[in-house]
Amino acid sequence: MVGRDILGCFILCLSLASVCAVRGTLSSIKDLKGIEFGHTSPRHGLMLLHWLANNIYNDNNSNMRLNFNPARRDYGFHFYRNADNPHPLPILPHQHESYYSLGNLVHNNNNVALALPDYVTRRFYNSRGHENNRDRVILRVREEESNQFIVDEVYVTQHYPPNGNTGTGYDPDNTYLVSFNLLTQIQRLATIDRNGIPRIYDVEINHNSLQELENIWGHTPGLALLLAIVLSFTFRAQSCRVTSQSTLKHEDNALIKLEVKTTDRGKARIIWSGIPNRLLDQGLMVVLHRNNNSDSKSELDRSSVGGKASGSYNTSVPLNPGLQVRLRKEVNNWWNYLGFGSTIEEEIWRGSEFHDANREIPVDINGHDASLQLFVKDGKACARLYVKKSFTAWKKTFHNSWVGFYSSEGTLDYNTWQWAVKFSEEKGSHQADIPGYDIYVYESSMTMSPGVQVRFMLEKYGGEKDPLLSPSMICSWK
């Protein structure tokens, strides 16, 4: 008996040791109120967690699974070694398990536009300093044979404060395990009856701030509610309210939406909305830039907003990933009145960068360890083929496979096409450098426009490419 007790204790200690690295477990929305993660503006942790909760699901065997592939770097996920000292996360016992981290919004050198949705990144493009890039979510996953991932654990963490002498790693004292119950609670916020929330979740909602938050985040179901619950009645939230009142001007800027879309000629189309009335008579311009890093003088095109709170403008600039709209206003000073020099302008707001495939991730080719992504380059429709390195026989398997480019969903006639094995290997780009994958691209001559599709056809019939074949994968441009 004694022996068994000691054994039991030993097992208990072992499992404790494996969780000791983290501070604790967050098992409900209420627990998010008491921690630092994502609390102060412009931190993006709560948006990240909301995004994750809505892209993870419970299969019928009580396994949590993902709507995406972190190993393919979907949405910017990165392999995380857990090599900081001390280790912020438990050491992984099995080789087939890995950690993937998400949330670093800073550009790498390749100027890759961020694939996360606008609601996660928009504060970041409009704030300065390092405080806005500290939050991360981390997944502990197991990859199954069929390219499917099972999520064993989810964590939230944060980098040490910038300019401290604590190093650059993740801070174990602010690292928490997130229970699946908490993720389910966040998912349910999108549909749950508000009046039931205090009773079911044992939390209060601050209805005044909820209304303000709805104005800004209302397009994303459940997000305003999450923020209203987590940020209300905490000390930090109160200090946050005070600052928000003193910078009210900035708060209604958060209603501004600036987007890049596609014209039917492969050019960038600027769409704006939500410009506050107080700004409308101030000589506002929407200005298109190559990306977030380009300086204010190197613009590609511009248009006056003509006093309209919302509107659109078709530019003559070929569509490319990274394009960004900025809202600027004329600043009147005596220098202008005297007629010297050019008009001085001040930047009011920035949109998120335009992303490949309208922020869509590659689509799996049925039954194979390969996926295809539609993207745009210089206004032309292009396709990128991701082949897992373990799929060594892909050239043989896809020997007769071809990729067709179609102008719309309704058509059976392709505009142009290419054999899958004739795609050229992509080198030197951000995408070219994903461990475990080989990447091939084909840049077609077809002008990109809304509704364009690529379809992957596994076979040809009778030596011909038969348009009546059913595709193994379809990807559409929105």
Ligand X SMILES: *[C@@H]1O[C@H](CO)[C@@H](O)[C@H](O)[C@H]1NC(C)=O
N-to-C CA span, the chain: 67
406, β-bridge pairs: 453
- Measured CA to CA, the distance from residue 221 to residue 463 in angstroms comes to 50
Among 179, 314, 407, 415, binds ligand X (CB under 6 A): 314
Q: Which listed residue (3, 4, 60, 338) binds ligand X by CB under 6 A?
A: 60
- Told to check if 131 binds ligand X by CB under 6 A, we report no
Provide the strand spans (E) within 254-369: 257-262, 267-273, 284-289, 299-304, 311-318, 324-331, 344-350, 363-364
93 phi/psi in degrees, rounded to 5: -80, -25
Listed ranges 200-208, 261-269, 380-388, 407-415: which one lies at the site for ligand X (CB under 6 A): 261-269
- Least distance from ligand X to the Cβ atom of residue 122, Å: 11
- Rounded distance between C-alpha atoms, residue 236 and residue 256, angstroms: 26
Concatenate the DSSP letters of all residues of 49-79 into one string. HHHHHTTEEE-TTS-EEESS-GGGTGGG-EE
Tokens 């987590």 correspond to what residue?
A: 230
Any contact of residue 159 with ligand X (CB under 6 A)? no
Contacts (CB under 6 A) with ligand X, residues 3-32: none
Site map (CB under 6 A) of ligand X, residues 280-309, x = contact: ------------x-----------------
Q: Which of 84, 204, 264, 459 binds ligand X (CB under 6 A)?
A: 264
Distance, CA of 239 to CA of 25 (rounded, Å): 26
**Residue 269 near ligand X by CB under 6 A:** yes
Q: Which of 23, 78, 107, 377 lies at the binding interface for ligand X (CB under 6 A)?
A: 107
When asked if residue 260 is in the footprint of ligand X (CB under 6 A), the reply is no
Q: Report, in Å, the least distance between residue 16 CB and ligand X.
A: 33
Position 105 contacts ligand X (CB under 6 A): yes
- Strands of 400-470, DSSP E: 402-406, 416-419, 424-425, 437-447, 453-457
Distance CA 170, CA 412 (A): 52
Residue whose C-alpha is closest to residue 318's, from 245, 377, 230 = 377
Instruction: Count the residues of the shown chain that bind ligand X, applying the rule CB under 6 A.
Output: 13
Task: Tell whether residue 128 is a contact of ligand X (CB under 6 A).
Answer: yes
From 8, 12, 55, 59, residue interacting with ligand X (rule: CB under 6 A): 59
Q: Is 349 in the site for ligand X (CB under 6 A)?
A: no
Smallest distance from the beta carbon of 271 to ligand X, in angstroms? 10
Examine residue 149 and tell whether it contacts ligand X (CB under 6 A). no
Binding site for ligand X (CB under 6 A): 59-60, 105-107, 124-125, 128, 263-264, 269, 292, 314
